[in-house]
Structure 1
Amino acid sequence: MRFSEDIYLEAEQILSSFAFKSCFEVEQDCTSYQFLGPEGCVTIELVDKSTNTYSVYFPTAGFYLWSATGLGFMVRMAVTVRIALGSWSQYLELALQHSEQWLVAGPLFDITAEPEGAVAAIHLPHFISLQGEVNVSWFLVAHFKDEGMILEQPAWVEPFYAVLENPSFSLMGILLRIAKGTRLSVPITCTTLIYYHPHPEDIKFHLYLVPSDVFLTKAIDDEEDRFHGVRLQTSPPIEPLNFGSYYIVSNSAHLEIIPQELKLTYRNPGEVQPFSKFYAGLMKEPIQLEITEKKHGTLVWKTIVKPVDIQLGAGAAPPPFSGASFVKEHHRELKARMGDVNGVLDDLQDSKVITENEKELVVQEKTQQRKNETLLSMVEKKGYTALELFFRSLCKWDPYLVAYLRQQPL
């Protein structure tokens, strides 16, 4: 049975309302270990760190979103949900995972809910980009039960998550099934992670290129922390990258990088993740890092690491969050990734940031990227307040994109 329209609208209103509130009151935003709910933030209990098992109690009916992970629940009544992280490799043959017909598309969760039937729908996160040739009919929810793997079609698929209605809980996650003989590169949203290891004479860097899976990032954070690695803040690649493709890492200082070539694949959290390593001596000059796609030589990502970044990472408090700064910092990513901006345009017109004529200029652009670029340039010229209002509206209409770009770690 499909969601009633009223229940669906309630989920959207709650999601938008609290994303909107979190943008207005950043200092009161829910932490990485809390769900956004109809009455505020609901704390998640870490039951077992070794198995990444969490427990959370939702006190009333409504929609609850774990924004740090993209996992969401629409519940009919008060319910206790237990969430553990599973490993695809234990249940899905490695050859099947990496075949051309099947791809792991997101985290694997072991979920239970008490009482049964309390959850009306679940949002399961995925990192497949819906751009290009990807068909939403390829998305399947895999349940691993005593009788084996059972596949279920989600009710619908959105960027960053798929919705399963009236779910029966088990060990579950999203797979992408591609028809045999289909030859295409599947685009996925990715994250670049840079860690430095301080040393009086020779600073070492580790660079990872991985699918955008918050649990995968957390596992890498934990592993790097064991060896005193410090993560530097970076933006993800602007465009989706292709699963299974090879990417070349280079730098402006002509430092030796080992290995220079990385293959974009999925490995379970807890498994050894591939990374590139290089040494930068005393780090007296900035270093520009680049990643290019091997086959066509296309630049897909770059950043600059300055000596001051190392000093800040060593102990200074991070700067306070600003929506205006967020928009400026992520201009290129927003231009490439924003979808339907009609809701944002309405908000900006209502708040008198843009006029009716300016709104029409955006609407009349022929491509989505041109609409995004025109809108961003228009708002940036109007100053700080306009950027703040734009950011708050973006949170309201596309909270998953904002959460992805903010990359809040667990």
Structure 2
Amino acid sequence: MGIPTSSVSEQQESSEGQESGDICSEENQIVSSYAAKLGSEVEQDYTNHQFLGPEGNVDVELIDKSTNTYSLRFPTAGWYLWSATGLGFVVRDAVTVTIAFGSWSQHLALDLQHHEQWLAAGPLFAVTAEPEEAVAEIHLPHFISLQGEVDVSWFLVAHFKDEGMVLEQPSRVEPFYAVLDNPSFSLMGILLRIARGTRLSIPITSNTLLYFHPHPEDIKFHLYLVPSDALLTKMIDDEEERFCGVRLQTSPPVEPLTFGAHYIVSNSAHLEIIPTELKLSYRSPGEIQPFSKFYAGQMKEPIQLEITEKRHEILVWKTVVKPVDIQLGAAPSPPAFSGAAFVRENHRQLQARIGDLKGVLDDLQDNEVLSENEKELVEQAKTRQSKTDALLSMVEKKGDRALELLFRSLSERDPYLVSYLRQQSL
């Protein structure tokens, strides 16, 4: 099936409450640099980014800075996840893969702000492989939550070729990614195809990214609400860092949010927020990303931040920022990673999102973390979420060793979930 592509420029939303002077100039620089490039700073991090998969080094090389094209050398057969992008590969033998990052708006006329036929469901990648037959599967990331009214038959892989857009049904759709078996390569990404005129609430997994800009007299905050795209998060991190922004660790919303819905940002200190309303939409990495901004003076008291769904007035996210979180000066070295701490800190996220519970229970029984009776108690819970809650509570009471073994099992059984949650704290 071939569909001609068209090139359109995404309409830019006017900034609400635009300010003048040096502050306005600074933020214009931020958004201008988004639109102009995909970020030259990517090189310094991606070339050394961690891969999940077989032991052995994966060689990553930036081969064309002007197009942000990377060469990845997978040294042996196995499964690999490049967690910085969400891309996964199952390879039969050693293979070299080249990857560049694309923008939907440059290749397909998509109006993402209204209920059109097409919905971009993840980032766009230009991929090639040598030899091509060495790649058994490619896992393309998406941020659609497989809940509610979403039908996996709506998922399509869009290939952009000389003849136009060619659509392919994925072999299967999983949380966080869709799979192509024995893939052919091109500029490619996941689209959701919805019958024209159908008005559905599409649930997506999302991130809240909170940055502070230190200043002795007036500390500034930027708050983003974006789909859970690892590449998009990295690009925002890079741009904020260029202007001395520091990301605070916060949890993402536990429940999926609604694509296209409006969300209200508020705080307990009655500080002015500009704008107070954010619309949850997807813009490819490298394009302008909307954010809310507010100033907190010298930050002497804690501030509680909240995001509320506008239409139904439902609280979907909150966090507390304390003065100690933003103390000026050199930050201490981060502690060594702990699987036990990861499980404790992400209890609510894991409770809501763990998928392969049977395999995890088998692993924990094999490692003598759970007895047969304890395993049966978990399995007898009435709902998946209550089973997961029972499991987490049971393992947490057994101490750090049990939690480390649970983390090891989750990393093997649900690596995309673990990678997604770890991305929040980078």
TM-score (norm 1): 0.88
Match of 2:297 among 271, 278, 281: 281
Alignment partner for residue 235 of structure 2, among 219, 225, 228? 219
Counterpart CA distance in 1 for 2:363 and 2:120 is 37
Relative to 1, partners in 2 of residues 1:376 and 1:57: Cα closer, same or farther, differing over 3 Å?
same
CA contact (8 A) 2:118 2:192 kept: yes
Pairing 1:142–2:158 present: yes
- Give the 3-state SS of the residue equivalent to 2:111 in structure 1: helix
1:123 aligns with 2:114: no
User: Compared with structure 1, are the counterparts of its residues 314 and 179 closer, same or farther at alpha carbon in structure 2 (3 Å cutoff)?
Assistant: farther
Cα deviation code 1:117-175 (max 9, x no counterpart): 22222111111111111111000000001110000000001101111112111100000
* Corresponding letter in the other structure for 2:242: R
The answer on 1:337 being equivalent to 2:353 is yes
How do residues 37-52 of structure 1 correspond to structure 2 at under 5 angstroms? 37-52=53-68
C-alpha distance in structure 2 between counterparts of 1:377 and 1:170, whole Å: 46
| 2:148 matches 1:132 | yes
1:285 is displaced (CA, Å) by 1.3
Alpha-carbon offset, residue 208 of structure 1: 0.1
Matches within 5 A, 1:120-269: 120-269=136-285
Post-superposition offset of 1:72: 1.4
User: Which one of 124, 147, 163 corresponds to residue 108 of structure 1?
Assistant: 124
Seen in structure 2, the aligned counterparts of structure 1 residues 296 and 156 have a Cα distance that, compared at 3 Å, is same
- State whether residues 219 and 297 of structure 2, in contact with CA within 8 Å, keep that contact through their aligned partners in structure 1: yes
Counterparts in 2 of 1:379-398, with a 5 A limit?
379-398=395-414
Unaligned runs of 5+ residues in structure 1 are 1-29
> Which residue of 71, 74, 97 maps to 1:58?
74
How many residues are paired up? 381
**2:212 is aligned with what amino acid?**
Y
Give the counterpart of 2:415 among 391, 399, 402: 399
Distance 1:32 1:294 in 2: 41
Q: Distance in 2 between matches of 1:159 and 1:347?
A: 21
Q: Which runs of 4+ in 1 moved over 6 A?
A: none
The equivalent of 1:35 in structure 2 is: 51
Q: 2-side partners of 1:313 and 1:156: how far apart?
A: 49
Mapping of 1:307-318 within 5 angstroms?
307-311=323-327, 315-318=331-334
Helix, strand or coil at the partner of 1:308: helix
- How far off its partner does 1:370 sit? 0.7
Give yes or no for contact 1:76–1:120 (8 Å, CA) kept in 2.
Answer: yes
- Compared CA separation, residues 281 and 133, structure 1 to 2 (3 A): same
User: Given the superposition, is the C-alpha separation of residues 60 and 108 from structure 1 closer, same or farther in structure 2, using an over 3 Å criterion?
Assistant: same
The answer for unaligned runs of 5 or more in structure 2 is 1-45
Deviation at 1:35, TM superposition (A): 3.2
How far is the alpha carbon of 1:313 from its aligned partner?
A: 8.2
Counterpart among 312, 332, 338 of residue 296 in structure 1: 312
Give the counterpart letter for 1:385 in structure 2: R
Which residue among 350, 375, 378 is the counterpart of 1:362?
A: 378
